[in-house]
Amino acid sequence: MSYWFDKRVLITGATGMVGAWATRRLVDEGAHVVVLVRDADPQSELLRSGTINRTTVVNGRLEDYDTVERAVNEHDVDTVLHLGAQTIVGTAFRSPMQTLQANVAGTWNVLEAARVHPELVRRVVVASSDKAYGTVLELPYTEDMPLRGTAPYEVSKSCTDLVTASYAATYGTPAAIARCGNIYGGGDLNWSRIVPGTIRSLLRGEQPVLRSDGTFLRDYLYVEDVVEAYLVTAEALDGKVAPGEAFNFSDEKPLSVMGIYDAVCQAVAGERVEPKVLGQAKDEIKDQYLDSAKARKDLGWSAGWGLERGLASTVDWYRSLLARTAA
C-alpha cells in the first residue's frame, strides 16, 4: 500500500504544471487531495485530464490567510505541498509587489496555518528554486551557501526559504525546502519559457525565438522527477530529516539555452531549426545549476528520467494539446 494512501494533502498551485502532476500522482495513490485554485484555466493539465474531478476544490488566493487556514482546518489536512507562486522572472521584474505578496506572504500564510494546527499538519514541503541563491562565484550551488537573491524574483525565493527556516527553527513547524532549477514537462502553459515556447513554434511551423543569447547555463529537470522529489521530501519529515532542512534537486547535467533548444528541435522535428536570437533576457543570473549530493544521501533521490525520454513525453503532451486547440 502506498505511503500516501488515505493521507489528506493540500496542494497550492495545483493548476500549474508541477501541481497538476503531483495531484494526479497522489490521487492515483489513494490520497485525499484538496487543491487551492485561484484561476481555473481549462487548458491546465489539472482540468484537461479530469484530475480536478477527483479532488476537493477550495477557491481563493494564497495571499488571503483566512482562505489558506480554512483549507487546512476544514479538510483535516496532514500534508501541504506548497507549490503556488508567481514563477515568471519577467513578470516579477514588471510587478515586484505582486510577486512578493504571492511568494512571500503566500508562504507565511501556509506556514502560519500549519503552526496554529499542529494537531493536523505533520509535513509541509515548500517548493523553492535555485534562484534563491542569487549570483555566486563558484558553481554548483550547495545547500550550505547563503541566500543572496537581488532581482525581485530571486529575492522572493530567498525570503520564502528564510521564512520557512524561521518557522521550523522557532516553532518546530515540520517544513522542508525543495530547490529545483528549470522544470519542463507537459502542462507548462507559460509560453515564454524555452521548452514549451520552442515546441509550440516548431509544431506551428514558426521560427522559434530565444530571449537570451543562448549561452546561459541551466538545470533542466523533468516534471515527474520533481514530483518524486517533493514526495520523498515530505515522507522524510516523518522523522528522517529535521524541520527546516533544504534540498537541491538536479540531474547534474546543466545545459546551455542553445543546448536545450537543440534537444527540443531534435525531439520535435528530428533536425535543428535556426532560431531568432534576441539576446534580451533582463535581470537573470547567467549561469545556475545545483549539486544534489545531499538529496541522494539523505533522501535516496536521483533523477529517473533522461532528457531524451522526458522531452519525448513532453512533446507528445503538446502535440495533443495543440491539435485539440486547432480543432
Give catalytic residues, as residue numbers: 153
C-alpha distances (whole Å) from 5 to each of 1, 29, 236, 310 are 7, 6, 16, 27
C-alpha 275/C-alpha 207 separation (Å) is 6
Q: Which of 257, 289, 298, 290 is nearest to 275 (CA)?
A: 257
C-alpha distances (whole Å) from 205 to each of 202, 267, 269, 275 are 5, 15, 10, 12
Tell me the longest C-alpha to C-alpha distance in the chain. 57
C-alpha 234/C-alpha 305 separation (Å) is 21
Q: And the C-alpha cell for 303?
A: 533523477
Q: Which of 72, 79, 159 is nearest to 125 (CA)?
A: 79
Angle 129-307-257 from CA coordinates, rounded to 5°: 60
Q: Which of 124, 229, 220 is nearest to 181 (CA)?
A: 220
Reduced DSSP (H G I as helix, E B as strand, rest coil) percent helix, strand, coil of the chain, to 5: 45, 15, 40
CB 218 within 8 A of CB 225: no
C-alpha 92/C-alpha 98 separation (Å) is 8
